[in-house]
Amino acid sequence: MAAELPLKIGVAGAGAMGAGIAETAAASGIAVILTDLRQGAAASAIAAILARAAKRVSSGKLSQGQYDALAGALSAADSPDALADCDLVVEAIIEDPAAKQALFARLEDLLAPEALIASNTSSLPIGVIARDMKHPERFAGLHFFNPVPLMKLVEVIPGPRTSRETMERLLAVARHLGKEPVEVRDTPGFLVNHGGRAYPTEALMALQEGVASPAEIDAIMRDCCDFRMGPFELMDLTGMDVNFTVCEFLHQSYFAEPRLRSTTYHRYLLQTGQLGRKTGQGFYTYHDGAEQPSADFISTAAPAQQVVLAEDLAELRDFAASLGCRVAAEDDGASPVLAFPVGEDLAAHAARLGLPATRLVAVDLAFDSTRRVVLMTTVGADPAARDAVAAAVCASGRRVTAIADSTGFVAQRIVAAVANLGCEMAQMGLAAPGDIDKAMRLAMNYPCGPLEWVDRVGAARMLTILRNMQALSGDDRYRPSAWLRRRATLGLDIRSL
């Protein structure tokens, strides 16, 4: 039997999230009453919604009939008492447990016994908020993402006493609103805020280690891995006041879990007011006329004509062929030596294989190298070898980013961190494996979900990257999730339960 849809939805809180939820519900054909204790705030929010809708009518993106239906579905009030006849009330007020609990106590006395109550909280545990409710079985989290009318994902989070009927009804509401709901366990940060930590924090670690600049790391993740924004661009967009605070909250909530650890420079930017775009300065400078740093390495050397392969790998042979370089049958003692380390830094790779570190040039072939090629050399290397390979890459029509020696280059380590955290969330049962991938694609605009990354890279190679990074760095932030290790070891599908 299909879950019953509400005839009227109440939204408590007329800020950006509350107004967005109200607009989305009204656009779906459901009557909505928006309330806020601030005098006139709800009416002002509705006026702003209708002003934006009027512009869409003028541009032909919305019909007059749709505008009239939207306007007719929205009403405003300055007191929660106006929500008494609603079938569902969604709370979107400040992230203060006491304020939310006071509102829910009032709503329980107002609403009919069968009416549902939901919180749009992004971080507070649903079970904690519902602890003193009389009827916690009708309460759950309904976490939308900003901007609500555009973002497809909704996290639906049960508390310890939420009924299955309540969950089914809320999932049905989310689908009716045109959203993609995922059911998520009640844990700190729920799913998206938890899973979204790996991308920026691993980039911050690479920056802290002096591997590459923010511009270089961002370009690598865009051009080689198809992320829409690099991690530093993304942090500047959301603001250090938001992303560092979330990082710190989750790191503390999970008892200093190394996978969730940020860096001192991230905290420093917050402390010094360099919040990103909103202040004009973060990892990048945003005032008019500011020169943006380049990620491109420019070589004036003659392009390499011949190379030696550190190992007889198909990837290295194909790469040499793409440069138009001959592959020497044996080391001539002069040509650049191409290497493709997986999870290792070049120093460890050279020592393990007995390679000449001075002429060794590593290239990351684990990801797309058709637009940008990442070259890596180790300490004491002769720059002439790198420069000759870089010149050959540029002559082939591609860009080059040259980085310092690093376990896992840049892309390997960041993608492995994203994938490993996704596997750990699956291990913890935060959501179904397919929902973890869907949530991270929809909410974070990732090119693919964490477990999908494992499929693209290969479970065995992903496990090798993490094991090598953990062994060489001694840092447990790279310890492989048991979910990944077991499935890679047994050759099972990464999504198998």
294 is catalytic: no
Dump the DSSP string for 206-238: HHHTTS--HHHHHHHHHHTT--SS-HHHHHHHH
Q: Which residue has the tokens 């939308």?
A: 144
- Contact of 203 with 232, CB cutoff 8 Å: yes
Distance CA(157)–CA(225), nearest Å, equals 31
**Active site residue: 23, 108, 155, 216, which one?**
155
**Active site residue: 122, 213, 262, 406, which one?**
122
Distance CA(476)–CA(258), nearest Å, equals 6
What amino acid occupies position 162? T
What amino acid occupies position 10? G
**Active site residue: 75, 119, 120, 193, which one?**
193
Sign of the alpha-carbon torsion through 487, 488, 493, 495: positive
Q: What are the two backbone dihedrals, phi and then psi, of residue 161, each rounded to the nearest 5 degrees?
A: -120, 15
Buried b (16+ CB within 10 A) or exposed e, 172-200: bbbeebebbbbbbebbbbbbbbbbbbbbb
**Active site residue: 23, 75, 108, 143, which one?**
143
122 is catalytic: yes
Tokens for 80, please give them: 């929660």
Dump the DSSP string for 64-127: HHHHHHHHHHEEEESSGGGGTT-SEEEE---S-HHHHHHHHHHHHHHS-TT-EEEE--SSS-HH
> Catalytic residue positions?
122, 143, 155, 193
